[in-house]
Every structure is written in structure tokens, then in C-alpha cells.
């Protein structure tokens, strides 16, 4: 395994994003557990929120995979899309969490 000091800036950023995705997976699982306690219409709304979170999380994962296989000239455009997808995931999570609180 490479140490972080030998990783390029791009590899380090990708590693950080993968680590953040893992943390988001844990946070989404926590929300899922909390949402499971809800009933009726609230439960249906929470299920929609969870589906939206999973879709956004998968979008970030897909952009990350695109970035890893892209040419140097395409990296900038894909990085921009990854940043937007990441921000979208964070915003959706904050809304989902706020709706439960």
C-alpha cells in the first residue's frame, strides 16, 4: 500500500472522496435506521429522501470512476461535475437530516 506522501494530488483527492463516500454511507445508514421508526406518510417521504440520497451518492461514485479513467484533458471537466455532484449530495443529506429532526 502506498503512503499518502507518495500519492499524487489527484490520487489523494480521489482517496479523500472515497473516504468521504464511506462516511456518507454510514450517515445514510444511520438515517435509514431512524427513518425506519416512522410510520404512515412520514415513512413514505423518508423512503423518497433515502432514494434521493442513494441516487446522489451513486452520482458522485460514477463521477469519481469517470475521473479515474479520464484523459488529462477531460479531468478538469469531470472534476467540475464531481464537485457539483458532491455538493448536491451534501445538500440533499442536510435536507434529509433536517426533515427528520
pLDDT tens column, 12-51: 577 888 888 899 899 889 888 888 888 888 888 888 989 9
Q: Which residue, 90, 76, 82, is CA-closest to 63?
A: 82
CB atoms within 10 A of CB 85: 19
Q: What is the DSSP code string of the chain?
A: ---GGGS-HHHHHHHHHHHHHHHHHHHHHHHHHHHTT--HHHHHHHHHHHHHHHHHHHHHHHHHHHHHH--HHHHHHHHHHHHHHHHHHHHHHHHHHHHH-
Q: What is the pTM (predicted TM-score) of this model?
A: 0.73
Range 9-100 classified under CATH 2.60.40: no
Domain borders along the chain are 9-100
Mean pLDDT along residues 78-95:
86
Amino acid at each position: 500500500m502506498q503512503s499518502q506522501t507518495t500519492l499524487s494530488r489527484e490520487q489523494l483527492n480521489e482517496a479523500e472522496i472515497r473516504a468521504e463516500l464511506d462516511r456518507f454511507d454510514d450517515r445514510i445508514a444511520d438515517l435509514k435506521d431512524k427513518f425506519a421508526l416512522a410510520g404512515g406518510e412520514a415513512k413514505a417521504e423518508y423512503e423518497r429522501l433515502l432514494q434521493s440520497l442513494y441516487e446522489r451518492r451513486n452520482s458522485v461514485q460514477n463521477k469519481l470512476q469517470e475521473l479515474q479513467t479520464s484523459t488529462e484533458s477531460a479531468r478538469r471537466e469531470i472534476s467540475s461535475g464531481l464537485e457539483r455532484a458532491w455538493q448536491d449530495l451534501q445538500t440533499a443529506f442536510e435536507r434529509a437530516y433536517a426533515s427528520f429532526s
